[in-house]
Chains A and B, each alone.
Chain A
Amino acid sequence: MAFVNWLKRHLVVIAGLLTLAYLLLPNVVVTVFSFNNPKGRFNYTWQEFSTEAWQDPCGVSGLCASLSLSLQIALWATLGATLLGTMIAFALVRYRFRARGAVNSLIFLPMAMPEVVMAASLLTLFLNMGAQLGFWTILIAHIMFCLSFVVVAVKARVMSMDPRLEQAAQDLYAGPVQTFLRVTLPIAAPGIAAGALLAFALSFDDFIITNFNAGSTVTFPMFVWGSAQRGTPVQINVIGTAMFVLAVSLVLVSMLIGNRRNRQKA
């Protein structure tokens, strides 16, 4: 009976932790299999322990080239989407203008549409224009679908900002440019950073839209997709694991720094 009571009280916690396990299980598998030494072309069944792939992560032709291409596209797409998105967010929060409803739906729609629809329709445009599919078409597509997410992230931050701070700055004889650079921008910065991070992650990991609009250009997700048909090298798992470890440690470090700063303030 005591056990049943205990179970009842902790049911939510147990169910939640099981879900967490479900979420993390594939990452565990990816990590473990980065030390595999597979027999055939596919890395799906465990054979024996080996660190070969870790010693030579670029050992598969095309893998690291695709990785660096993805990084480049993600950086440029982040820059473009963050710039355009931040401008839209400021206009939406700070100004009154006509056709606000239409603008809002134009921003909302790309997020409410299955990726495959955006990908297919963009391809019809490029085909009709006779555009050469490759780096530029991928970049255009990525900026397009990342834009809305940046707008949402920045808008949330700018909306919660107290406009009286800017009035105070102006009362203290700051010009519009100075007010923007010294007051508005620093307050909006966390929102802009969040939007940029989101854009980077979305662009770097995008497959469906890239699949349609890349032509024969190979980004990292496209490389993984191709290898799923031809044979999965262990190096894919190495890159996946390395990305995971790197990102998690970056987050942990920034959290620790944030904690320390908060404590110093207190």
Chain B
Amino acid sequence: MATLTQAPPVAPPPAPEKRPPRRRGRWTPYLLLLPGLLWLLVFFALPVIYQASTSVQTGSLEQGYEVTWHFATYWEALSEYWPQFVRSVLYAASATVLCLLLGYPLAYLIAFRAGRWRNLIMILVIAPFFTSFLIRTLAWKTILADGGPVVDALNALHVLDVTAWLGWTAGDRVLATPLAVVCGLTYNFLPFMILPLYTSLERIDPRLHEAANDLYAKPSTTFRRVTFPLSMPGVVSGTLLTFIPASGDYINSDLLGSTDTRMVGNVIQSQFLRILDYPTAAALSFILMAAILAIVTLYIRKSGTEDLV
């Protein structure tokens, strides 16, 4: 049977929980908190309130806006832009699943199989961050270009026929289709999946694998019954860290997609910065925020990992 690897050095006993008695400084914590919290209150919480108020205003740019409790804006925004909402959720969910499928093997590789290459692979995972992500996203325009090697290969393998039948691509093109946008989203948020996965996989005691092996578990059983359940905290925070930014993203859709792939982020951006219809834009943004908060709360409850921070 497998020999046990050397036990890791015994961890030092946890520091006693009791805090040293503080003679002075009853106000110290509040003074330490004050500037930062004030910043967050004024520039994060207050804006949310302003946005809520903007969403129920009516008026025009020239005559100014007034709060008239015009809740119909929400209804109008939803009935006009529900396809973009559905698309955002679909694209973000697909990208999250793809990130998990692609990221898990790499995180596993770094945690258990990389040996002395571990640090190097780790650097290579983080390295793309050092080049502006807009430049890297533009590179996908080259990679997926019409008649380029990637598209030609997919065509020759008849992959594009299948994806076109599924409605992911159109004709001989990959650019300007949902597939390109999801591919870009997956690429952009993959490191956010890999890092938490790696952190939770790395904490798993390798002796557990050996124990499972000793008890005649096949590698696949070991993975299903030991490794994967223990990596759940990483899976939960990884999926959140991917899904949340992906659902509000408008860069990938703008650069790699077309008008048929517009997501809710694109609508908010153009309403705010080009069309200048502030109430509609604020209502859309508020709906997105509420939806994300609801999804996140439900998901965290369900998966039972309360302390993500």
Contact = CB atoms under 8 A, between A and B. Distances in A.
B231 interface: no
Contacts of B15: 162-164
Contacts, number: 263
Nearest to B129: A201
A141 B43 contact: yes
B28 interface: yes
The B interface is mostly helix, strand or loop, or mixed, namely helix
Interface stretch (B166-174, B208-216, B280-288): B280-288
A116 B292 CA distance: 12
Interface stretch (B30-38, B75-83, B156-164): B30-38
Interface residues of B, number: 87
Given A23-B124, A45-B145, A87 B36 contact: yes
A127 B289 contact: no
Of the listed residues A19, A120, A225, the one surrounded by the most CB atoms of chain B closer than 10 A to its CB is A120
Interface of B: 12, 15-16, 19-20, 22, 28-30, 32-33, 35-37, 39-41, 43-48, 50-51, 54, 102-103, 105-110, 113, 119, 121, 123-125, 127-143, 145, 187, 190-191, 194, 240, 244-245, 247-251, 255, 265, 268-269, 272-273, 278, 281-282, 285, 288-289, 292-293, 296, 308-309
Given A23-B190, A26-B140, A207-B134, 12 more contacts: A15-B105, A15-B106, A17-B106, A27-B136, A84-B36, A114-B288, A121-B50, A125-B46, A128-B50, A167-B20, A208-B265, A225-B251
14 contacts: A16-B106, A17-B109, A33-B142, A107-B309, A110-B44, A113-B292, A114-B244, A117-B288, A120-B272, A124-B54, A128-B50, A147-B39, A207-B251, A236-B138
Interface of A: 12-13, 15-17, 19-20, 22-27, 29-30, 33, 44-45, 84-85, 87-88, 90-91, 94-97, 103-104, 106-118, 120-125, 127-128, 140-141, 143-144, 147-148, 151-152, 162-164, 166-167, 170, 201, 205, 207-208, 211-212, 220-221, 224-225, 228, 232, 236-237, 239-241, 243-244, 246-248, 251-252, 255
